[in-house]
Structures are given as C-alpha cells and as structure tokens.
A and B are shown apart, each in its own frame.
Chain A
Amino acid sequence: MTQVPVVVIGAGHAGLAVSHVLTGRGVEHVVLERGEVANTWRTERWDSLRLLTPNWLTRLPGLAYEGDDPDGFMTVEELIGFIERYAELGDAPVRTQTEVTSVAPGDSGYVVTTRDGSWEAQAVVLATGAFNRPKVPAVAASLPDELEQVTTLDYKRPDGLRPGRVLVVGASATGLQIADELLRSGREVTVAVGEHVRMPRACTGRDIMWWLDRIGRLDERYDQVDDLVRARHVPSPQLVGTPDREDLDLNALTARGAELVGRLAAVRDGHALFSGSLRNVCNLADLKLVRLLDTIDARTAEDGLGDDAIARPEPTRVPASPRLDVDLVAGGYETVLWATGFRSDYAWLDVPVLDRKGELRHDGGIVRDAPGLYRIGLNFLRRRKSSFIHGAEDDATDLVEDLVAHLGSSIRTFPINFV
C-alpha cells in the first residue's frame, strides 16, 4: 500500500483544478483516472456537442483561453485538448488507466483501492463527475419492446438511431439540442416537456453568460440561496453554443416541425400518457425568463450600458390541445431518447455518507460525516457556477483550504471511527 497525503479521483477539469491548487499549496497528492485525461468527454458525449459557456469564460486556475475566438464555444474535441494541455502545463501527477474500485475508511484516513494497487491517504477528493449514469424514469420498463431506448450517454448522431419517429423525453439543454439536430436531419420528433429553464443566447449583443456573471447570478453561494434543494435541481438552461449564436427554445423546435407534449407521466398498454401540464410549465419558464430580463434591464440602466430595453421574446407557443395519449408503435415511433438527466455513481464508495436517494451528503463539497472526504464538480456544489468549467476554480480553492487545515489537524488526531 502506497502512502500519500491526498488522493484525487478523476482527471477531468475539476480533479485537475484541485490538483493545481494542491500543488500551489505544496501538498503531495496523486490523481487517479480510470481512463485517459478528460475521459467522460472522450467517451460519453454526442458528436455535435459544444460547451454552453463562451471560450473567454472557459478557464481553470492557471489557464485561460488563449485562442482567437473568445466568444466562440468549444467543441468537445477542443475541450479535451484544453484539459489535456492543462494537465501537461501543471505537470499534474495523474495515473491514467487506474480505475478506483473502492474508497473505504482506513487507519489514517482512507484506503483507495484500484485495479493497480492501493493507496492510503488522509484526504480524498472525489472529482468523479456528476453525469456518470443516465437518470431514466421507472416508466421506461413499461415501454413496448419494439421501441429502441437510447440514453444521452449512448447517443452520438442522428444516423445512429433507427429510422422512424423519435420521442425525446426531456426539454433541457441536452433534450433540445438533440431534438434540434434530429429535426434538421429530417426526423419526425415529439418532445415531452416538463419543467425547464428558457434563456436567450444573447441580450443586447452580449452573451447571456456574460450577463449572468455580471448580475452576480453565477457567484451566488450555496449557503445564501433560499432553497438549496431546488437550486441544486434546476434543469440546465435551454441553450446551445453554436458559431452563429442562435437561440434554441421550444418555439425554434416547433418552427422546425416538432410536436410538443407534456411530461411523460405513464405508459399503459403501449400508449405513452403525457401530463396535461404543458401550458403551465411553459408559462412558468416564460415568467422566469421575463424576470431575468427585467433584472438585466435594471442592471443595464444602472451601469449606463445603454438605454435599450431587451426585446421580450415571444411567449412559448403551446398547442391548444397537446396530445395526452400516443400509441407509440402504431404511431410510427421507433426510438425513445431519454434526456432526463444524470446522476453520480458511488458504487465504489464504501463510506456511509449517502442519503436515502443515493446522493452524497455534503456541505458545499465538505463531507462532514467523513472528515477528510471532499467532493467537487456537482451542480451548485458551492456556487451556481459550480457546474461550469470555470466554477471549479473557486470551489477547488475553498475545498483545498479546508483540506489543508484537515491535514494539519489529522496528524495529531486519532483514526476516524465510522461506527
């Protein structure tokens, strides 16, 4: 067993950011990676994906975007290059192809077991991603066998799907982006729409991410929001990062021929039953969008950035009587695409710190029930920006601060008792 003060699990952008900050503090550590650097981006994303954040905002501690298109959006390939370069620049102590099979309490902290030996560490940082498993609702089991079910971890491009109609379940960034490219490839697409967040790509010539940064929205802290459960479960905004900076919302999909239906509520005898709440979820998203634009308008006036109020977007066009009941097989559907979100996988975590829903109990990334255990890279971990690439910087700095204090104290304390 190899001794090391800190083990970081995962060499994606968040794990490497932690590694960078640890190195800056002179803390010896190792980064264990199951595959290659930026593994999830290499293997589990669809071909056309680009970041939702513009390049100028895509930065990590010690590395900012240096290309000639600060307002562009990185493709996955470009992002992999960026993260690889980050690992090389910082000379991060990464062990690739080293899959962790267990993290368990040990005599002086934790024992991290891999397929290639084990490590003993006083502190462990979990940077294993928030998108390990597709979150597929239980109703999936009732779908007719004739239909192919595809999750967004498996989806690559339109021609990878069977011919025929596609039911896309989910109307956040992922669902809309995939529905959009399916429509453009000539598919007939029905989109099941639950609660969602509508956002324009730009306002008065500036990217919406610039505005969210400007009005302080991205820096809102987890210990300052009214309802943290809600904040951590807000769906990703309906955005796409394309070279022509187009808006992507339900109206755009409707204009391309998509059919909108309510949230998929049940499947009975091969029929998909959709909720009658489509009008309200669209109305909620429109109201929230107008409140955001009001805030931006107020800020524009305050900062003297211009007199022009932002044009209010057309309300979401909801069909008068959206279909509630669709006979999937008879209706020509061949594929159901689950764009219903993701969850983390903690199958390898042998420390009793999960709640009844299998999520990690933590306080802004600090696992209070297991001193020395940390988590980075979750939605609204410590700030609203935590789920963005650049959100890793402040989170890594905060967590390493706590971690260094823990290392200082753990030398003098007895082993942790997990009974």
Chain B
Amino acid sequence: MSTTEPVADNGVNVEHLLGARTALTDAPEAAEFTWRATTEWVRGTRTQTTIEDYSGLGEKHSHKAEYSYTGDHPEVFASEDDGPTPVEFVLVGLSTCLTAGLAAVAQNRNIQLKSVKASIEGDMNILGILGGDPEVRNGFNDIRVHFDIDADASPEEIEALVAQSQKRSAVFDVVTNPSNVSVTVN
C-alpha cells in the first residue's frame, strides 16, 4: 500500500472540527450555541443589521469585526433598493452554509477543490405577503440550488459531497424543517 497519497488542502481545519466533536460529546452543555443579530429600522423598508457576538463553549465570543448589512426592498415594490431583500438573505444563508459545509466534507474526504460555485433560486408567489390569496403561503414554495464544482474527484464523489453537505447543513435544516419562533416587544 502506498502511503504517499496527496493530501488535499481546502483551507479547512478538519482535525479541529473532529477534535471538537469528541470534546463536546463529553461536555454536551458546551455545545449549546446562541447566534444573534440586531436590526434597526432606517427609513422606508431600509434596515441596518449588525452582527457582533455569539455564545458557545460556555462563554460569549466576539467576531473579529462588527459586520454590518443593509436590507431593503427592490424598486418594483416602490422601495429604494439600497440592499438585498430579506428573502435574498435567506438564500444567501443557505448557499453559504452548503458551500462551507461542502468544503469541510471535501477536506475530510481528502478531495482537493479547485472551484465551487453555488447558484440559488427561490420561487415565491407574492400574493401571499400581499394578502391577496389566503391559499398562497408567504414564503418560498420551491428553492433550487445548483453547484458547479471543479475538483480532483469522480462525478459520483462530487455528487456525494453535495448530498453530504445538505445532510450536515444547519441552514438546510432550518429551511426544510419547522422551528419555533417567539417574537416579543418591550
């Protein structure tokens, strides 16, 4: 048996992730994370969101920098279009999660990635949010993700990467399964 198999480097520290899994199995409370963001209304449909800290491993952590995002509605909704619409943020959440997960799975399977591009589309009937048809839901009725991947792997291995990245994706889970949401006001 050859032991000189090339080692893929996708820039993902898989040893760290696997180590964390072992450590957290023994200390399950440290595995409880809370993620947060703050959104302020600016004007019209424009909002400014900041993301600064999150909790996990038993303590609060700060991101390296404070991240800031502008959200808005497009001009066809008679808005200013100063930023993406909220549903586009949801699509971004899904495609970034799947793509990041895919890189981690590829690293774990020793598959060198050359390029990965995820294109995502979500279909929505806006009669739902306009209240124009009670039979129509507000949200997406169909979401499609298409990956273009160049990697040192067979088409079957690449297909398996894509499947596994869905299986381990937090946002895929959020989008495909119901979650309890509570909204309060001061």
Contact = CB atoms under 8 A, between A and B. Distances in A.
B39 to A, nearest CB: 26
A356 B164 contact: no
Contacts of B175: 276
Interface in B137-179: 142, 156, 159-160, 163-164, 166-167, 172-173, 175-178
Given A266-B177, A287-B159, 7 more contacts: A265-B176, A268-B178, A277-B166, A277-B173, A280-B172, A287-B156, A291-B156
A262 interface: yes
Contacts of B28: 356
A275 to B, nearest CB: 5
A353 interface: no
Nearest to B18: A227
A283 B159 CA distance: 9
A164 B27 CA distance: 46
A354 interface: no
24 contacts: A265-B176, A265-B177, A265-B178, A266-B178, A268-B178, A273-B177, A273-B178, A276-B175, A277-B166, A277-B172, A277-B173, A277-B177, A280-B167, A280-B172, A281-B167, A283-B163, A284-B163, A284-B164, A284-B167, A287-B156, A290-B156, A291-B156, A321-B142, A356-B28
Given A265-B177, A268-B178, A275-B177, A280 B142 contact: no
Which are the 10 A-B pairs with shortest beta-carbon distances? A276-B176, A265-B177, A280-B166, A266-B178, A277-B176, A284-B163, A273-B178, A275-B176, A275-B177, A287-B160
A110 B26 CA distance: 28
A276 B175 CA distance: 8
Contacts of B25: 229
Interface in B90-146: 142
Contacts of B164: 284
Interface in B21-44: 25, 28
Contacts of A275: 176-177
Nearest to B177: A265
Q: Which of B160, B163, B166, B172 has the most CB of A within 10 A?
A: B163
